[in-house]
Structure 1
Amino acid sequence: MKKQLFLLLPLLAFLAVGVFFYSALFSDPRELESALVGKPVPEFELPNLLEPNQTVSQQAFGDGPYLLNVWATWCPTCRAEHEYLNTLAAQGVKIIGLNYKDEPAKARMWLAQLGDPYVLNVMDYEGTLAIDLGVYGAPETFIVDSNGMILYRHVGDVNARVWQAKLADIYRQAGGL
């Protein structure tokens, strides 16, 4: 009996791994749960991208609501979303940038050439704040309320469809626009 049970163990392990991979195959990576939803933006002190001698903390973000947008010049999807972020900023949406593992000079040039939708841009060269936020990559956008609490996390680019379908209502409910 023990020998038969011992022979079934690899089969059971294989089935468990198979079920795990099968479920991952049909999951949407943009719907990743965030452990920080309902919690405050993590505390940090990082340089201001445009004023590198100036240190910024989460208190500098001021009153919400705002979008906290994780971006980088090496990210092609960030480039795709940038024009729409400029549109949102022109409509009065407060956007704070988190420049993620990027070369500061390239990031400043990007903003000079493509426009700067951000009221403030934090330079996260080492990725420490991104790690604290649970960022998987760029772009990611968090909606933060007036109390500094994270309400929602969106993985992927922000575009007109995503804004209308998901983000606009959450932003408005938080008191924006």
Structure 2
Amino acid sequence: MKANSPWVFLPLVGFVLLAVLLGSGLGRDPQELPSALVGKPVPTFSLPSLMTDETLTQDSLKGRWQLLNVWATWCPTCYVEHPFLLELAARGVAIAGLNYKDDSAPARQYLAEQGNPFTHVIVDADGQLGLDLGVYGAPETFLINPDGEIVLRHAGDLNARVWQEKFAPLLEQGSQEGGA
């Protein structure tokens, strides 16, 4: 191969393309997972309640601003997040729980021992609703508007910083628009 052949530059071009591809991901927040469902209704479902004998549907997530928190007893980060959920519930924030790929008996025991911040808890034993929502794992939290549409998705634990930066401004805006 001659020194002035265009093939000499192929490794350099490949390296530059790889560097650009990898570099573009460095500035991204790993908690920011895109959701194709933002602005769309919660997917259709009909699943049992963890705490009552009723069947819950997507209509259970309509009528008010609320959070849909994906959690499980097998999730260590959910234990870290739980006290903040209790604090939000004490402040009057409506939170629906989605018990994701979990066993119901330990989940009920967990809520009895740790406190229950949820207005109702949807049992998603096989994970199908989580799959429909695009859940990567627990915990994840969705902000749902009164029309039952997903406004925001946050992967990872919900804490005071995340609440102030992401959720509170959207709730304030929604209440100013008359949708609270």
Distance 2:7 2:127 in 1: 46
Aligned-partner residue type, residue 19 of structure 1: V
Distance 2:6 2:77 in 1: 50
Q: Residues 16 and 103 of structure 1: is their aligned pair in 2 closer, same or farther, counting only changes over 3 Å?
A: farther
| Partner secondary structure for residue 39 of structure 1 | coil
Report the aligned-residue RMSD. 2.3
Aligned to 2:40: 39
Larger mean CA deviation between 28-37 and 85-94 belongs to 28-37
Distance 1:166 1:144 in 2: 13
| Partner secondary structure for residue 40 of structure 2 | coil
| Partner secondary structure for residue 73 of structure 1 | coil
Distance 2:132 2:8 in 1: 43
User: Does structure 1 residue 109 correspond to structure 2 residue 109?
Assistant: yes
Q: 1:7 offset after TM fit, Å?
A: 7.0
Q: Which runs of 5+ in 2 are unaligned?
A: none
Q: Which runs of 5+ in 1 are unaligned?
A: none
Distance 2:101 2:29 in 1: 25
Q: Residues 46 and 12 of structure 1: is their aligned pair in 2 closer, same or farther, counting only changes over 3 Å?
A: farther
The percentage of aligned residue pairs carrying the same residue is 52
Distance 2:124 2:59 in 1: 16
Q: 1:65 offset after TM fit, Å?
A: 0.5
Native 8 Å contact 1:48 1:55 kept in 2: yes
Q: 1:94 offset after TM fit, Å?
A: 0.4
Q: 1:55 offset after TM fit, Å?
A: 2.2
Larger mean CA deviation between 6-15 and 31-40 belongs to 6-15
Aligned to 1:23: 24
| Partner secondary structure for residue 123 of structure 2 | strand
Larger mean CA deviation between 24-33 and 70-79 belongs to 24-33
Distance 1:5 1:41 in 2: 53
Distance 2:26 2:14 in 1: 18
User: Does structure 1 residue 142 correspond to structure 2 residue 135?
Assistant: no
Larger mean CA deviation between 23-32 and 139-148 belongs to 23-32
TM-score, with length taken from structure 1: 0.87
Aligned to 2:131: 131
Q: 1:15 offset after TM fit, Å?
A: 4.1
Q: 1:173 offset after TM fit, Å?
A: 2.1
TM-score, with length taken from structure 2: 0.86
